[in-house]
Structure 1
Amino acid sequence: MTETAAPAASPPRAPKTALNGARSFWLKQLHQWHWISAALSLIGLLLFAVTGITLNHAAQIPAEPVTVEQTGDLPAPLLARLSDFPAETTEAVPDAVARWAADAFKVQIAGRPTETTAGEIYVALPEPGGDGWLTIDRASGEALRERTTRGWVAWLNDLHKGRNTGPVWYWFIDVFAAACIVFAVTGFGLTWLHARQRPSTWPLLGLGLLIPAVIALLFIH
Structure 2
Amino acid sequence: MSDSTRRAYWLKTLHRWHWISSALCLIGMIIFAATGITLNHAASIESAPQVQSLVAQLPDAMLDQIQSDGGAAPRKAPLPATLRAWLKHELSVEAGSRDAEWSEDEIYLSLPRPGGDAWLAVDLASGEVEYELTTRGWVSYLNDLHKGRNTGVVWRWFIDIFAAACLVFSLTGLFLLKMHAGGRFATWPVVGLGVLIPALLALLFIH
Instruction: Report the equivalent of 1:50.
Output: 34
Q: Which portions of structure 1, spanning 4 or more consecutive aligned residues, are displaced by more than 3 angstroms?
A: none
Pairing 1:167–2:153 present: yes
Q: CA deviation at 1:219?
A: 1.2
**Contact 2:118 2:134 survives alignment (8 Å):** yes
Q: CA deviation at 1:102?
A: 1.1
- Please, what TM-score do these two structures have when normalized by structure 2? 0.97
Counterpart of 1:98, as a letter, is R
Counterpart-to-counterpart distance in 2, 1:219 and 1:113: 44
- Please, what TM-score do these two structures have when normalized by structure 1? 0.91
Counterpart-to-counterpart distance in 1, 2:9 and 2:199: 35
| Count, aligned residues | 205
| Gap runs ≥5 in structure 1 | 1-16
**Contact 2:70 2:102 survives alignment (8 Å):** no
**Contact 1:74 1:141 survives alignment (8 Å):** yes
Counterpart-to-counterpart distance in 1, 2:202 and 2:59: 59
Q: 2:132 aligns with which of 146, 156, 162?
A: 146
Q: 1:199 aligns with which of 154, 178, 185?
A: 185
Q: CA deviation at 1:86?
A: 3.0
**Contact 1:131 1:148 survives alignment (8 Å):** yes
Counterpart-to-counterpart distance in 2, 1:217 and 1:110: 47
Task: Show the 5 A alignment for 1:180-199.
Answer: 180-199=166-185
Instruction: Give CA-to-partner distance per residue, 1:111-170, whole Å, 9 cap, x none.
Output: 111111111100001110000100000011100010000110000000000011111111
Q: CA deviation at 1:211?
A: 0.8
Counterpart-to-counterpart distance in 2, 1:112 and 1:86: 19
Instruction: Report the equivalent of 1:86.
Output: 71
What do you get for the CA RMSD once the two structures are aligned?
Answer: 0.9
Q: CA deviation at 1:110?
A: 3.1
**Contact 1:79 1:141 survives alignment (8 Å):** yes
Instruction: Give CA-to-partner distance per residue, 1:2-45, whole Å, 9 cap, x none.
Output: xxxxxxxxxxxxxxx71111110100000000000000000000
Counterpart-to-counterpart distance in 2, 1:25 and 1:85: 67
Please, which moves more after superposition, 27-36 or 107-116? Answer: 107-116
**Contact 1:95 1:110 survives alignment (8 Å):** no
Q: Which has the larger radius of gyration?
A: 1
| Gap runs ≥5 in structure 2 | none
3-state SS of paired residue (1:90): strand
Pairing 1:31–2:11 present: no
Q: 2:98 aligns with which of 107, 112, 126?
A: 112
Pairing 1:63–2:50 present: no
Counterpart of 1:39, as a letter, is A
